Each structure stands twice: as C-alpha cells, then as structure tokens.
Amino acid sequence: MQLQVSRFESLGDEFHTRLHPTPLPTPHWVGWSGEAAATLGLPTEPPPDDELLQRLSGNRIADSVTPIASVYSGHQFGHWAGQLGDGRALLLGEHAASGLEVQLKGAGRTPYSRGGDGRAVLRSSIREFLCSEAMHALGIPTTRALCVTGSPAPVRREEVETAAVVTRLAPSFIRFGHFEHFSHNGRHAELRRLADFVIDNFYPEYRQADGNPYAGLLAAVTRRSAELVAQWQAVGFCHGVLNTDNMSILGLTLDYGPFQFLDGFDPGHVCNHSDSSGRYAYARQPNIVYWNLFCLGQALLPLLDDSQQALDALEPYKALFPAALQRRMNAKLGLDDPRTGDAELTEDLLQLLARERTDYTIFWRRLSLAQAASEADAGQAGQGAAVRPLTPHWQPVRDLFLQPEAFDDWWARWRQRLQLPADAGASAGSDSQAGQRMLRANPRVVLRNHLGEVAIRQAQAGDPSALQRLQAALASPYDERSDSADLADFPPDWAAAISISCSS
Ligand code: AMP
Ligand code: MG
C-alpha cells in the first residue's frame, strides 16, 4: 500500500503533531473488508506476508510518511469541552491513487489523549469496522474501515479487555470541531487556512461562486448534513454521541461508538448508556445536527460578512431536512415524489409503530415482501383492488401488530396512494413494481446490537467465522438470502440488556 504525505499535513504544524504509534505485541488479523481494500488496490483477503499486518497495527511505518495526530475542540453534550483532538487516532498518510486518508484508531497515546490510554478494545473496534462497511452498503455516507487487527495486550475498561486497531479511510477526517478549535482560540489565520483547504479540496464550486465562499461552504455542509440525518432516521440508526467533534465536514457518518439500529420502533430511544438526559435520542438527532451546524456557523463567523450570512446559510435546513426525510420515507413506502398528504400518511404509520414498539426493520421488510408478492399475484389474476390486507401475503405484516385493525386502516390509505397515477416524469409511481423498489429501499439485515455482540464474543474467543458471516450479510443488505435467516430475525430477549457507553 503506497502512502504519501497527506494534503492535510501540509496545512502546517498548528494543525497536528507528528508522532509514531505505540507498538502492539503479536498482532493478528481480526477483520478485513475486501471492498474497502479494493479502493486501495489491495487484495480481497489480507495479504499473507507480515508487512501490512505490522503497518496497520502501528508497529512499522513506511519510510515515505510520518504519522500525525490532529488537534480539534468541540461541544460535548451541549457544552463547550475545550481542546480534544485525535487522542487515539493517527493519520498514517494519504493513498495516492484514491486520495483517501488512512488512519489508525487505537494506535496509542498522543498529545491529545488527555486521561485516556490511546487504545481501542476489540469489541468497539469490531463494531466500528462492521458498521462503517454496513453503512456504506446501505448507501449512507460514511468513513470506511479497511480492517481490524487484534493483540493480546490488555486494555482496562469496565473490565480488562484486549487491544485492537481499526484502519479507517476517508477523503478527510476534518470535523466541525477543527473549525471550532481555531475560531474559539482567536486564531483566524489558521481558521481561514483550514476553510480554504476544505473548499479547495472538497467543495471547489464555492471558490468560483459569487459571494462569500465560506458562506457557500456552510450552506453546502448544511445540505449534506440534512441529507445524512434523513438517511439515519429512515433506516433507524442512532449515532449515540452527536458531539460537534464527531460531525464530519464532508457529511459522513463519523466515529462509531455506542451507535444502535433500532429494534422495536421507539422515537425516544437512547442508545448511549452515558447519555443520561437523552440528548442524543433517536428522534432528537435532526435537531441536534442543526444545533451542531449552528456551532459550525458560529465558528465560521470571523470569515463571514456578518452573522446574518451564517443564519441565511443555516436556515434552509429547516425545509431541507423534512423534505429529504420524506423522500426517503416515500422510497420506503414504494411511492413516487412526495405529495400533499404523504407526510401525514408517514407520521400516522410511525405513530402506529411507536405505539406497538413494532420491530422497525422487520416491519418495512415484511411490508415490502408482501407488496411484491401481491403484485406478482395481481399480475397473474388481474388487478385485484382489495380494501383490507386479508389475503395471505399480508398476514406476516398483520402478525406484527397486537391491534391489526389500526394497521388495516393505514394500509387502505397507503394502497390508495400507491394506485394514484405517477406524476409526469416521476421515477416511480403507480405501476406493478412498487414492491421491488421497496425491497431495495428497506434492508433485510442491519447491524443490530445483538448481532454484533455474538460476532464479538466469538472473535474474542478466537473464532472469526460469525464476524465474517455477519459482514457478508451486511455487505448486501437488500438481498433475500436463505442462508442467513437468523441475521434477519427478531432480537432475542437479552438484546435489550446490552449496555454500550462512550468509553470503549
Ligand atoms: P469520542 O467520544 O470517542 O468521540 O471521543 C472524544 C474524545 O476523547 C476524542 O478526542 C478522542 O480522541 C478521545 N478519546 C476517546 N477514547 C480515548 C482513549 N481511550 N484514549 C485517548 N483518547 C480517547
Ligand atoms: Mg470522536
């Protein structure tokens, strides 16, 4: 793997510290993403020789690069937290052909470790590895994960665990917190340099555009963030720690910690054991992302003409997010572009799911399967306009409800909407393919906590087979596969007792 000095490093010494990782004894491969490897021109299996294993465990450094840890600050749980920084992440360098930055997470202490040990445990590393690649397969913008290496080195958390390193990939790991850092400290020259770097490398259209390019940047990040959180909400993903230092300037899902995909639909669900106030509850994520964007806007003020310019760049979020979410929900419902009444139809369904704590992923998948099956049937027997979901196809969906009559009423409204003629030029509409479209919008397998937990326990015991099997299923989340029915099933009772906190 040919790495060169990263473009980020060229920003200057104010932005980072050069240092080497702390070696990890006797590393071994735990997980490898063939797909992520392909983006770097690496083989689909981990190479048999020792070189890459040692490099990606932080034990050997290529001559062409010097690893760096970057400095940033941020708001954590709604409060200014001051300086943070890469406390356990090291940027190795940049992959020349793809332009991707290659970062080791868990490679030892840095000047930004504060009280931490600079390590990551195997459990959290596997979770980040699996989820990064799962999100990518779902089509949700995210940092990628090339691999996990493990070591017997002990790491103390609530109990003693073992160390691991995740190799992460992204065009950039710059966070809102990088901007906040220089702005808060009054270092406006560095703030401008950072913003110019991001614009020139990732948002070049705002260099040429009329008006203040930094306002253009803020507006663009606002749009990307609105799209991102809409995708999270639609798939039932809770990030868990939406602090401004975990917000990507590129609109990527970043820093997988206590994240969770919802099992039963509960808008108030809080997946982070440390989040006692429920600040980062599932349903609050859209508002929190807006709050975080506001912090970014504040940080950019020294580069803007006036504060009104920041407000003008942020304001569209209030319309962009609901519109993006409705588009995603319409896709889940097999509907064409949103129309009047769709928001109410969606909201009524979500209230129904919330009231019964219906399993979110299974509901959508069964609805899709039933629609596809009923379309196939109608194709043979002519369009039958049922008024109730009482044919056998719908039984698996009705079975999810204690009070199926409420679902029946909603179903009749939805089916009526499905049969409306499509808008001219719309990509979807009233045809016999809604079910097939739904099957590509509603995943069959998501990384539920208990699935990760089973894979982790086996990997901790030295058996990677459950991890590999889960990884394969997550890589094609929309495919119907008979060999992984258990991975698409309801969570077991013990899943509710899994407790995941920030410390990992
Ligand atoms: P997080 O909540 O994972 O986003 O981390 C918040 C801050 O704490 C970041 O600056 C991390 O680099 C740092 N951090 C988290 N865990 C550790 C650790 N084990 N050692 C050093 N720094 C850490
Ligand atoms: Mg973080």
- Secondary structure of 444-473 in HEC code, one letter for each residue: CCCCCHHHHHHHHHHHHCCCCHHHHHHHHH
Q: Cβ contacts of residue 463 below 8 Å, gap of 6+?
A: none
Q: What is the pLDDT of residue 423?
A: 61
Q: Relative to the alpha carbon of 248, which ligand is closest?
A: 2
The residue whose CA has the least distance to atom 6 of ligand 1 is 84
Q: Measured in angstroms, how far is the CA atom of residue 152 from the centroid of ligand 2?
A: 24
pLDDT score of 323:
98
Q: How far apart are CA 89 and CA 8, in angstroms?
A: 14
* pTM greater than the 0.75 cutoff: yes
DSSP 503: -
According to DSSP H, which parts of 77-204 are helical? 122-138, 176-184, 188-202
Q: Is residue 425's pLDDT more than 60?
A: no
Encode pLDDT of 438-456 as tens digits: 999 999 999 999 999 999 9
Task: Choose which residue among 76, 113, 125, 246 to substitute to test ligand 1 binding: the one with the highest number of ligand atoms within 8 A of its C-beta.
Answer: 113
Secondary structure (3-state) at 110? coil
Tell me the average pLDDT across 354-369.
Answer: 98
Amino acid at 352: L
**Cα–Cα distance for residue pair 498/450, rounded to 1 Å:** 8
Check whether 333 has a pLDDT greater than 60: yes
Residue 261 has pLDDT above 90, yes or no: yes
| C-alpha span between 253 and 142 (Å, rounded) | 4
Q: What are phi and psi of 40, to 5 degrees?
A: -105, 5
CA distance 288 to 242: 7
| Average pLDDT value for residue range 311-321 | 98
**How far is 127 from 2, CA to CA, in rounded Å?**
27
Average per-residue pLDDT in the chain? 95
pLDDT at 502: 72
Backbone angles phi, psi at 491, to 5 degrees: -70, 150
pLDDT score, position 154:
98
> Catalytic residue positions?
245
Helix (H, G, I), strand (E, B) or coil at 203: coil
At 62 the pLDDT is 87
- C-alpha to C-alpha distance for 406 and 404, rounded to whole angstroms: 5
pLDDT of residue 49: 87
- Return the residue matching tokens 């203040």: 212
What pLDDT is recorded for position 420?
A: 79
Per the model's pLDDT, the better-predicted residue between 430 and 32 turns out to be 32
pLDDT at 380 (0 to 100): 66
Ligand 1 atom nearest 257 alpha carbon: 3
Say what the pLDDT of residue 431 is.
60
pLDDT at 492 over 80: yes
Specify the 3-state DSSP secondary structure of 113: coil
Answer for the pair 231, 443: CB distance below 8 angstroms, yes or no. Answer: no
Q: How far apart are CA 372 and CA 366, in angstroms?
A: 10
Helix, strand or coil for residue 4?
strand
Distance CA 467, CA 471 (A): 6
Ligand 1 contact via 113 beta carbon (within 6 Å): yes
Joined together, the tokens standing for residue 139 give 């089509």
Percent of the chain with pLDDT over 70: 97
DSSP assignment of 132-164 equals: HHHHHHHT--B-EEEEEEEEEEEEESSSEEEEE
CA 242 – ligand 2 centroid, Å: 9
- The residue-averaged pLDDT of 240-263 equals 98
With H, G, I as helix, E, B as strand and everything else as coil, classify residue 484: helix
Q: How many angstroms separate the Cα of 367 from the Cα of each of 68, 138, 359, 362, 371? A: 49, 18, 12, 8, 6
Please state the rounded mean pLDDT for residues 206-214: 90
Output DSSP code: residue 167. E
* Residues in CB range of 342: below 8 A, 6 or more apart: 326, 329, 330, 333, 335, 417
Residue nearest to atom 11 of ligand 1 (CA): 87
Residue whose CA lies nearest to ligand 1 atom number 23: 87
Reference 172, options 64, 85, 254; nearest CA is 254
What is the longest distance spanned by two Cα atoms in the chain?
72
Bridge partners of 73, per DSSP, are: 83
Task: Verify whether ligand 1 is closer than 6 Å to residue 149 (CB atom).
Answer: no
Structure confidence at residue 285 as a pLDDT band (50, 70, 90): very high
User: Residue 54's closest CA among 194, 176, 149?
Assistant: 149
Say how many Å lie between the CA of residue 155 and the centre of ligand 1.
Answer: 14
Mean pLDDT of 481-500: 93
Where on the phi/psi map is residue 93: left (φ > 0), alpha (ψ -120 to 50), or beta?
left
Is the backbone of residue 373 left (phi > 0), alpha (psi -120 to 50) or beta? alpha
Q: Is the pLDDT of residue 169 over 70?
A: yes
Q: Note the residue count of the chain.
A: 504
C-alpha 308 to ligand 2 mean position (Å) = 30
Cβ of 502 closer than 6 Å to ligand 1, yes or no, is: yes
Which of 390, 439, 443 lies closest to 415 in space, CA to CA? 390
pLDDT at 209: 78
Return the percentage of the chain with pLDDT > 90, whole number: 90
SS (H, E, C) 59-89: CCCCCCCCCEEECCEEEECCEEEEECCCCCE
> In this predicted model, what pLDDT tens digit does every residue of 20-29 receive, in sequence order?
999 999 999 9
The verdict on the CB of residue 257 being under 6 Å from ligand 1 is yes
- Please indicate whether residue 118, judged by its CB atom, sits closer than 6 Å to ligand 1: yes
pLDDT at 379: 74
pLDDT of 175? 98
Instruction: Calculate mean pLDDT across residues 126-150.
Output: 98
Task: Say what the pLDDT of residue 439 is.
Answer: 98
Domain ranges of the chain: 3-175, 177-330, 335-420+428-441
The C-alpha atoms of residue 469 and residue 488 are separated, in whole angstroms, by: 13
Average pLDDT over residues 135-153: 98
Closest-lying ligand to the alpha carbon of 81? 1
261 alpha carbon to ligand 2 midpoint, in Å? 19
* Sequence letter at residue 62: A
The predicted structure's pLDDT at residue 436: 96
Residues 6+ apart with CB under 8 A from 379: 432
